[in-house]
Amino acid sequence: MKKNQLSPEEALVILNKGTEAAYSGKYTYHRAAGTYVCRQCDAPLYRSEDKFDADCGWPAFDDEISGAVHKSLDRDGQGAEITCANCDGHLGHVYVGERLTEKNTRHCVNSLSMRFIAQEKA
């Protein structure tokens, strides 16, 4: 599997399960149409139409592309960590039951874990 070279900041988040500072990510308020892909392996993760403003400090999505994200217990055993199903790169965490959208799910994702590919205009 092809893996992209990561900056030290990206490696801290993706490989070492770190978290970027709240409200510091380039995709926190990003609104363009397109697809968010894994920064490490380029696998598609999220569609822009599933992104919403949760005012949590990180990009939030209420759904993932089918089969793109793996969910597991976080290190502390309390929350659910999300990783890329293709390369196991750390993305962030998922929360259920907050009632922020009809899907009742919030994927809280580090901007450093993703790259955005704009939708081509027809």
Predicted pLDDT of residue 1: 78
pLDDT tens string, the chain, 122 residues long: the values are 789 999 999 999 999 999 999 999 999 999 999 999 999 999 999 999 999 999 999 999 999 999 999 999 877 666 799 999 999 999 999 999 999 999 999 999 999 999 999 998 75
Predicted pLDDT of residue 79: 72
Is CATH 2.170.150.20 the right assignment for the domain spanning 8-118? Answer: yes
Predicted pLDDT of residue 78: 64
Predicted pLDDT of residue 89: 98
Selected catalytic residue, list 41, 84, 87, 108: 108
Cα dihedral angle (100, 102, 104, 107), rounded to 10 degrees? -70
CA atoms within 13 A on the CB side of 20: 25
Among this protein's residues, is 108 annotated catalytic? Answer: yes
Distance, CA of 75 to CA of 69 (rounded, Å): 17
Ranges of each domain in the chain? 8-118
Distance, CA of 51 to CA of 3 (rounded, Å): 25
Side chain identity at residue 25, one-letter code = G
Predicted pLDDT of residue 83: 98
Side chain identity at residue 105, one-letter code = T
> Contact, 70 vs 90, CB < 8 A?
no
